[in-house]
Amino acid sequence: MLRYDDELPHRPRRVIVAGVAGSGKTTLAARIAVITGGPHTEIDGLFHGPNWQPRPEFVDDVLAFTSAPEWTTEWQYRLARDALAERADLLVWLDLPYVRVTFPRVVRRTLSRRLHRTRLWNGNQEPPLRTFFTDPEHIVRWSIASRRLYPERVAAAEREHPQLIVVRLRSPREVDAWLTGPLASAIL
């Protein structure tokens, strides 16, 4: 596993970004795609159909875009995680401080989306705030419940997919330093 200041062994072409909900996976994936020049596919847009129902074509869509030579996406959804890890050459793990960074981010994002009635994937909107107390899969509750799963998930992916280079980023400062340092250098 590489640190934020370790050189990458090769130019990454197929990148997955891992982390708990609210850690900034989508934002980082989009930034990586700009630097690498490959397309960014937001995996939430493929997964969520109308009324938050999983799209039946989800796995087929993931397999289709990951057959391209270059891409960047978020590493999530049990149905797709193994195929993504198998096809990727770089996994970037956002392992940010949960209480100080990630939890406030997921709360702010959820509140903002709900208060502004932001249209998300396939017309969906954040549910009423009261669902935090009634829905065990509410995004904030999901973030809290799943925050300790990533160390083992990432370690398993690294063991099971030997082609996968893993970079662990532990702070927003490390994210910025990695993007402008090792990632940018690997692209030149």
Instruction: Enter the pTM of the model.
Output: 0.93
Closest by Cα among 82, 90, 74, 81 to 178: 90
Supply the pLDDT for residue 51: 92
Residues of the chain predicted below pLDDT 50: none
**Using CA atoms, how far apart are residues 119 and 31, in angstroms rounded to an integer?**
22
Structure tokens at 96: 């940010």
Residue with tokens 């709900």: 114
Helix (H) or strand (E) holding 71: strand 71-74
Residue 146: CB atoms within 10 Å: 13
Structure tokens at 173: 């400062």
Query: What is the residue extent of each domain of the chain?
Result: 14-187
**Using CA atoms, how far apart are residues 28 and 94, in angstroms rounded to an integer?**
9
Supply the pLDDT for residue 137: 84
Closest by Cα among 174, 184, 139 to 20: 139
Q: Which residues pair with 72 in a beta bridge?
A: 15, 40
152 burial level (CB within 10 Å; 0-12, 13-18, 19+): exposed
Supply the pLDDT for residue 188: 80
Supply the pLDDT for residue 46: 97
Closest by Cα among 75, 67, 78 to 28: 75
Supply the pLDDT for residue 125: 92
- Looking at 3.40.50.1820, 3.10.20.30, 3.40.50.300, 3.20.20.140, the CATH number of the domain 14-187 comes to 3.40.50.300
Phi, psi angle pair for 169, to nearest 5°: -110, 125
